[in-house]
Chains A and B, each alone.
Chain A
Amino acid sequence: MFEGDAGLLADFVVEANEGLAEIETDLLTIEAAGADIDSDLVNKVFRSIHSIKGAAGFLALHKTGELAHSMENVLTLVRNRVLIPTSAVVDQLLKSADLLKRMIGAIESSNGVDVSDHVSALKVIAAGEIPAARTPDSAQEVAPVHSAPEDSPDETTQPRESLGFQVTPEMLAIHKAEGRQIHRMQFDLLRDSDVQNIQDCIQRLKDTGEIIDSYVDDSQATCREEMACLPWHVLHATVLTADQICSFFGLDSDRVDQYDESTVPSKEPAAVAESVTAVAQAPTMVNPPANVQPFSTASAKELLFRIPKSDESSPAAASVPSSSKSEPMSAPVVEANIRVSVSVLDRLMNLAGELVLGRNQLMLAVGRDDKAALESIAGRINQVTSELQETIMQTRMQPIGNVFSKFTRVVRDLSQQLGKECSLELEGKEVELDKTIIEAIGDPLTHLVRNSVDHGLEKPDVRAAKGKTPVGTVKLTAAHQEGKVLLSISDDGAGIDADKLRKKAVEKGLITAEAASTMSDHDAIRLIFAPGFSTAEQVTAVSGRGVGMDVVKTNFERLGGTVEINTVLGKGTTITVRLPLTLAIIPSMIASCSGQRFAIPQVNISELVRVLPREYEEKIGMVNHAEVLRLRGSLLPLVRLSKLADKPPERNSMENASPKQMNIVVIESGRLRYGLVVDRLHDSEEIVVKPLGRHIKGIKSFAGATVLGDGQIALILDVGGIAARSGLNAGQNGVKNRKGLQAGDHQAIETIRTLLFSNHPGEQFAVPMSNVLRIERIQTMQIDSVAGRQVLQYRGGTLTLLNLEDCITAYPREEQTRLYVVVFRHGGREVGLVAPNILDIRDIPSVMDTVSFSEPGVMGSLILDGYAVRILDLFEIGNTCHQVGYGGSGGAIARISQGDDREAASASETQQPRILYAEDSGFFRSKVKKFLEHEGWEVIACNDGQEAWQQLQDPANRFDMLITDIEMPRMNGFELTQNTRTITRWKELPILAVTSLASDSDREQGYSVGITDYLVKIDRDQLLAAVARYLGVSLTSGH
């Protein structure tokens, strides 16, 4: 080991790993290209290996250098088109790259690794013994017509023992062809002041040219100090002359000399190089020496036959590369590193500077007690801090391609092993995720990919019999969606048979036969996630690795993700994983109990329920001595946080006689669903997760801790741990009821989730939840009246408030001290609708009466529990805020002038966008058509998919977009999309699905048939924005 520079070693490891990271993919691409060699790609791989070799030689990592050198030899031949990269060749290169990776992973012990198997196997390949090099399609046929020179093994394993450069003439030839001179340079590592900073020296060598090879000659290092020298020989290719090099590096002229073929020792001591040298020297015999450019494949083949035979006895069989699975390796000693771009680092530095500046100003202002200055400084620090946080988060983000790339290999090896044919498609490699998540998803994803190949895809003959292409496809995609990352693994294989799963689950005693028969297919398929469930008919060596899908699911859930599965029998399976972008900062609800605050991650919360004392009777019950909440027809087990918090259990008074209301956080995490009773609910906060010390790490109820805004600490609840502590087991009745209910709803009728409220006790209204940003509880006295408008001081700004009675025909609200405000987005701003009393959240059918209460702002009405409920159109309600704000006539003028602009704008366009719209509900059809046309777009509305399909089949029709409902008679949206995509000219047509039915699995199905995007039916702003985005135009109505 070269002494004294651990930093250099660490750098080497980082650089080598970087070089190796993509090598696998590249090699596979090279293999796929076969004889059609992409020289750029080969060069890239060659360079990675070459620099590893060079650095390893310098750092005295003999074995690493030796292996890299052998690989380089083979790659040289590929690069020069002498050797065709058949799968046998690439196989060995891959295996060697694996070993190289492992060695670099445990660099300290790498010199103890036996690489001789690999080296000799590579040597055999380099010598042209793999017959596939000549007949690429018949790797099995062994045709050892000419075998290569075989050196004695002891020589091959220790190439560095003897001194000299490891260099092949064609490497020199390449440099020469590019007009470089080759110099042999000799530095003294002990004496030359110039090489005291070795890294600097290497850099300078790289700046002036390229280091072809180098070695340290420690044979002359003697104990006698005055004699001691440690020569470092460098073979350097450069455009500079020897004199220039001398003066540049401060070397005497005798330490630099020209290096050429004549100086190549007739007996090259580096034994491994010899066979290659033999091959490579051959061209000089056939071609004139001046013409040593890349050889044609034809002559290359010829050359292989000219290889001088020196050892006929070496059988080809000996070249079968033995696997090297169990090299003894110690744990890696090099610390984990992360690469951060200099620009990000600069920005961080800058921000840190700003922060220091802010602090200085703060100290000054505090000293002077200057209130005004304090405020501005606080604002500044606030801003700098957020930017700092953002930038630091950025350094942790890594592209998911790092994980994806390894699957090319996994799929290749696996399909070979199983005798299947499979192509892997990767999409969205550039999507970035937090480093910790990237690291954690590798294993579960691998499992899913292996599953797809092993269980999903059929064998080629089976596929052919089914009329599928023999080559199966596994597709891995990543995309951003709603602030999360969506991963999907889909295959076009056999799909999952729900009946088989039912049978299996009954056999394993997971469910009863009755439960199985009543279970929907969707639920049955989810059984695959049940613990102890293995789907394979027999456990194969490939997938039977003791990991079930339940573990995969748990792994993703631990990261705050969810897993969905969707399958069509005979067509394929898609598994969708949703992951948060980062783990470090999570939005949480702060709740308190017995005076102590706790944070509950928002992903685990499905809703908040308040039970008033008078409702106890009706809503709270006891089942098996456990409290339950009756919530919309299902029973929800309750857990009291106070019990957990070790506080005196005032259970009796709390349960029976307490006048207090009950705050319940409804927790949902995977199959787990329960209500957590807390004393008080506070705000929601973005919290930074801090790990707990080892004294308390073992407590399952807590996932960590966080420092709240006021500097106090709150523990973060682990909802799974709390359930376990309270003796709840997942999949209790509550969950099943609910799931069953939901599935039923889906099949029966499209529903809209709405928020029910009353303005006046006699009238009930509903707003679609999809429009609601959040709900705030305020005091009436907080409302200010500014210029005839009602506003609320809110989060550092003002929020315009709308009273329902000002917007539509309604009774005015009654005076009360506290009321709720429904906040929604309108035209890019937030607007609040006063909703004095909130009643419930309900799923209502989307079929409604659109006639009875027809007026702007009202979508329709229906009868719910004996009350007439009017469903509000928040978009139109929001429109009225202009009139309310500026007075009726002014608003009208503003709108008219907008209209003029629009006409001018659309007139200037040569062709209006033409949108085809399929929707069976007359109500939605006219509505959506109206506001699309409002934007100046031409809309062709159809009653169902069939009608739209007819339009699309007419070659005379031009459409720029298709907007479709999903649930339609005759032909549904999925079928319509599928059909549309079969026509070539509609392959790229943006297809938006506008639906209220958008569960994950629906979305998944939609994407798989070719839907471009999903939109919620009644969200007008979102729809317009999306349409404009996909049409590539801007909105005219001033959003």
Chain B
Amino acid sequence: MSTTAVLQESPETTVQLATFLLGDLMLGIDISYIREITRVGDIAPVPDAASSVRGIANLRGEVVTVLDLRTILELEPLDQTSQSRLIILRYHDEHVGLLVDQVTDVLTVGSDIEEPLPANIAGVDTRFFTTVYKLDLELLVLLNVTAVLEPAVS
């Protein structure tokens, strides 16, 4: 995966984002949250768990909770494909896997291409997002990791 410098000359604060797709939606996560990105192995479902919990997976001996990002963002559920990936995030003192459709790239983006957050992006509540970056062809939406990972209050 190549690192594309979108705006090399920009003196503004820049962040590195891992970008991925959820349907047509292009999302990004600050790479400092990410421990690794893996293929989706076996996921053991957990009865009685919240609907966003896909199950648990074995990450080299560590039991990792796998969350379905589609369910969290209230998008249509989609079956796993060969493109599906788990983004393993550091969350408090544990690791959590986020199931996404496809991982695309790692980008460095600057604050100069930030756009104001609209009330709703592709039908998703914006409380899950922090910023929108305008790229050449599309919009890149920065995911609010804390909001996504916080266990739903049931």
Q: CB-CB < 8 A to A705: which residues of B?
A: 44, 56, 63
**Contact in complex: B50, A695 (CB < 8 Å):** yes
Return A719 CB to nearest CB of chain B, in Å.
15
Partner of A696, one of B56, B57, B92: B56
Is B48 close to A, CB under 8 A?
A: yes
Q: Specify which of B52, B56, B95 is in contact with A692 (CB 8 Å cutoff).
A: B56
Nearest CB in chain B: distance from A890 CB, A: 52
Across the interface, which residues of B come within 8 angstroms of A645, CB to CB?
A: 47
A711 within 8 A of B: yes
Known pairs A694-B92, A707-B58; A699 contacts B49 (CB<8 A): yes
Tally of contacts, chain A with chain B, CB under 8 A: 71
A712 within 8 A of B: yes
Q: Is the CB of A695 within 8 A of B151?
A: yes
The docked-state distance in angstroms from the alpha carbon of A820 to that of B98 is: 47
Proximity string of chain B (85-104) to chain A, C-beta cutoff 8 Å, 1 when within and 0 when not: 00000001011100000000
CB of A993 within 8 A of chain B? Answer: no
Question: What is the distance, in angstroms, from B61's C-beta to the closest C-beta of chain A?
Answer: 6
Bound-complex Cα distance A221 to B50 (A): 61
Which residue of B has the minimal Cβ distance to A694? B151
Give chain A nearest CB distance to B20 CB in angstroms.
20
A82 in the interface, Cβ–Cβ < 8 Å?
Answer: no
Within 8 A of A (CB), among B49-71: 49-50, 52-53, 56-58, 61-65, 67
Choose from B57, B95, B96 the contact partner of A713 (Cβ within 8 Å).
B57
- B48–A644 touching, CB < 8 Å: yes
Give the chain B neighbours of A711 by CB distance below 8 A.
Answer: 42, 58
Report how many residues on chain B are interfacial, defined by Cβ distance under 8 Å: 24
Minimum C-beta distance from A598 to chain B (A): 10
Complex contact B96–A695 (CB within 8 A): yes
CB proximity of A650 to chain B, nearest CB, Å: 16
**Is B46 interfacial (CB-CB < 8 Å)?**
yes
A693 in the interface (beta carbon within 8 A):
yes
Q: Is A154 an interface residue (CB 8 A)?
A: no
CA distance A694 to B46 in the complex (A): 13
Task: Write out, one digit per residue, whether chain A residues 684-724 have a CB within 8 A of any chain B CB (1) or not (0).
Answer: 00000011111110110110111100011111000000000
Interface centre among B42, B47, B50, B64 (most CB of A within 10 A): B47
* Chain A CB within 8 A of B45 CB: yes
Nearest B residue to A644 by beta-carbon distance?
B47
Quote the shortest CB–CB distance from A359 to chain B (angstroms): 13
Please determine whether B44 and A695 come into contact, CB atoms closer than 8 angstroms. no
The smallest C-beta distance from B128 to any residue of chain A, in angstroms, reads: 16
Pairwise interchain contact B44-A715, C-beta atoms closer than 8 A: yes
Known contacts being A696-B56, A699-B48, is A707 close to B61, with CB within 8 Å?
A: yes
B65→A695 contact, CB < 8 A: yes
The interface centre, meaning the residue of B46, B57, B94 with most chain A CB atoms within 10 A of its CB, is B46
Question: Do B46 and A699 touch (CB < 8 A)?
Answer: yes
B65 touching A690, Cβ below 8 Å: no
Q: Is the CB of B58 within 8 A of A713?
A: yes
A174 to chain B, nearest CB (A): 50
- Shortest Cβ gap from A600 to chain B (Å): 15
Nearest chain A CB to B63's CB is how many angstroms away?
4
Q: Which of A596, A693, A707 contacts B65 (CB 8 A)?
A: A693
Contact A692-B65, Cβ < 8 Å, known A705-B56, A713-B56, A713-B58: yes
- Give every chain B residue within 8 A of A690 (Cβ-Cβ): 61-63
CB-CB under 8 A for A702 and B44, given A693-B94, A695-B67, A713-B57: no
- Please tell me if the beta carbons of A696 and B42 are within 8 angstroms of each other in the complex: no
Chain A residues near B92: list those with CB within 8 A: 694
**Complex contacts, B49 vs chain A, CB 8 Å:** 695-696, 699
Q: A699-B46, A705-B44, A713-B56 are in contact. List 11 more A-B contacts (CB 8 A).
A: A692-B65, A693-B56, A693-B63, A694-B151, A695-B151, A696-B49, A696-B65, A699-B48, A707-B58, A713-B44, A713-B58
Offer 22 A-B interface pairs, CB within 8 angstroms, sorted by A.
A596-B44, A596-B45, A691-B63, A692-B63, A693-B96, A694-B92, A695-B49, A695-B53, A695-B65, A695-B67, A695-B96, A696-B46, A699-B49, A702-B46, A711-B42, A712-B42, A712-B44, A712-B58, A713-B56, A713-B58, A713-B63, A715-B56
